[in-house]
Every structure is written in structure tokens, then in C-alpha cells.
């Protein structure tokens, strides 16, 4: 079994060089999805936000009055960004699949728009189950793939072209299966669509001209089904925006 050390190191370095872009990102910093995630954790007293990035989810949970919030990320630069940007958030550098946290010590674990970068999402879920208290909750939000295999392949192709650290966006049903297998009961699921400005989305990864053109070409040449589902908008041959699919899962340990 591999621990994907090199892959994780490269991903951390990539995000560590993009802290300003992610802190300023509207997709990460606002929206009904962020509010929902924070609301579902509002009764917690201790919360661990895994793969915290620039800290938006951790900050939103702290703003709900949760007194002990820690943002964990593999990138030291992201951890510093999160703790500097959001009051009430402590930081720790760590691996989502090997959490440096004691058993049964946290009553909320969150992870927002990050798990598609994890080499082994099931290992993360096992770790979340380990560190949560018996009455705790796991709240995960991520980009999700449609059930249609061709549309899912299209989505993941676009994401990997833009960001090689993207592993895969999974379907809602796959996430539910994994959560059940890890010992969780899925209490509720919320789905969202978010419209992404293409220029801002490309700029967040500092795409060079050739890579940007390859990504834009795939979107521009999408078939009718992909254009409809992902709401791809073009003007004079230029991609203006498109939508991605997100889901939030609220899961509790099964007794």
C-alpha cells in the first residue's frame, strides 16, 4: 500500500503558492453552501476543519460561536493564511488521511471543497470516524460528479487539465456508500450548483496560456448534454462561465 507521499507533497506545494487567490475566491469565501456547512456544525464545542485551505469553512464555523476550531492543512502556507485571516481559528499542519488528533476528541469534523484532491478518501473517512466523539458529526462538502459516466468523465477531464492535483470528483451515491462503510449514518444531504467565472477559475491556478486554451477548448466543444448540465456560457467563442455541482453530507457515527 502506498501513502502517496510525493503526490501529497506536490499538492501542498501547489496550494501553498496560491494562498492569496484562494483567500480572495468568491467560490470558497461565500455562498449558501458555506452557510449550510457552518449551520450544521453550530452546536459543536470542538471542530476540526480538514484541508482547511485559506480557512473559510473554519472561520464560518468559528463565527457560529464554536469555541474551539482548528484548521488542518498539508500546506504550512495555507495554515498561516487561515489563522491570520480568521479570528478564533487555530492551525495545524497535517495529513487528511493521517490526522494528528487523538481518538474520540472532536465533536465536529468538516471538510469543504477539498476531498477531490485526496488520493484515498476512504482513509480520510476512517480517520474522521476515529477522532469523532460518539455524538459528533462529520460535515463534508465537495464538488460531485453526475451519475452519467460520460458526463462524469467530462467533468474530471476538465478539472485535471486545469489542476493536475485533482484526483476525482465522485458521485453523491459513491460518497454515501463510503460514509456508510466507514460507520456513518447520512442524516441529510444538500445539493448546490455554483456558477464559476471562467477567468477567475483559471486565474486561481495561474494557468499558462497553452493550458488555459486547452481547458477552454474542451469546455467550448462540449456536447449538448454537458453544455446543459454544466451551464457552459460562451460569447464570441470565449467561455464566460460554467457551473459545477456540489453536495454537502451531514453524517453521524452509527451506534
Go through the domains of the chain in sequence order and give each one's CATH number.
Answer: 5-146+164-195+245-253 (3.40.50.150)
Tell which residue, 100, 162, 108, 106, has the closest CA to residue 140.
108
pTM of this prediction exceeds 0.95:
no
49-64 confidence digits (pLDDT tens):
999 999 999 999 999 9
Assign 1 a pLDDT band (cuts: 50, 70, 90). Answer: very low
Q: Once rounded to an integer, what is the mean pLDDT over residues 8-12?
A: 61
127 and 181 Cβ atoms separated by less than 8 Å: no
Distances (CA, A) of 70 to 21, 48, 148, 201, 254: 22, 5, 37, 27, 24
Cell 476512517 appears where? Answer: 126
Tell me how far apart the alpha carbons of residues 8 and 99 are, in angstroms, rounded to a whole number. Answer: 14
133-164 confidence digits (pLDDT tens):
999 999 999 999 999 999 999 999 999 999 99
pLDDT at 166 over 90: yes
Amino acid at each position: 500500500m502506498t501513502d502517496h507521499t510525493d503526490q501529497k507533497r506536490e499538492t501542498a506545494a501547489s496550494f501553498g503558492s496560491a494562498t492569496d487567490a484562494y483567500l480572495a475566491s468568491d467560490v470558497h469565501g461565500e455562498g449558501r453552501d458555506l452557510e449550510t456547512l457552518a449551520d450544521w456544525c453550530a452546536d459543536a464545542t470542538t471542530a476540526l476543519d480538514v484541508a482547511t485551505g485559506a480557512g473559510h469553512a473554519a472561520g464560518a464555523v468559528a463565527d457560529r460561536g464554536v469555541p474551539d476550531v482548528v484548521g488542518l492543512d498539508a500546506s504550512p502556507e495555507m495554515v498561516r493564511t487561515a489563522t491570520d485571516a480568521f479570528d478564533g481559528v487555530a492551525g495545524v499542519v497535517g495529513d487528511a488521511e493521517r490526522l494528528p488528533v487523538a481518538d474520540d476528541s472532536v465533536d465536529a469534523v468538516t471538510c469543504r471543497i477539498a476531498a477531490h484532491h485526496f488520493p484515498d478518501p476512504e482513509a480520510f473517512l476512517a480517520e474522521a470516524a476515529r477522532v469523532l466523539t460518539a455524538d459528533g458529526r462529520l460535515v463534508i462538502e465537495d464538488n460531485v460528479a453526475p451519475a452519467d459516466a460520460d458526463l462524469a468523465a467530462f467533468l474530471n477531464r476538465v478539472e485535471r487539465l486545469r489542476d493536475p492535483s485533482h484526483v476525482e470528483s465522485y458521485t453523491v451515491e459513491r460518497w454515501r456508500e463510503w460514509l456508510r462503510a466507514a460507520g456513518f449514518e447520512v442524516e441529510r444531504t444538500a445539493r448546490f450548483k455554483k456558477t464559476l467565472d471562467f477567468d477567475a477559475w483559471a486565474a486561481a491556478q495561474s494557468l499558462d496560456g497553452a493550458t488555459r486554451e486547452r481547458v477552454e477548448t474542451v469546455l467550448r466543444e462540449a456536447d449538448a448534454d454537458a453544455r446543459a448540465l454544466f451551464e457552459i456560457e460562451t460569447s464570441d467563442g470565449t467561455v464566460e462561465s460554467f457551473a459545477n455541482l456540489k453536495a454537502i453530507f451531514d453524517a453521524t457515527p452509527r451506534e
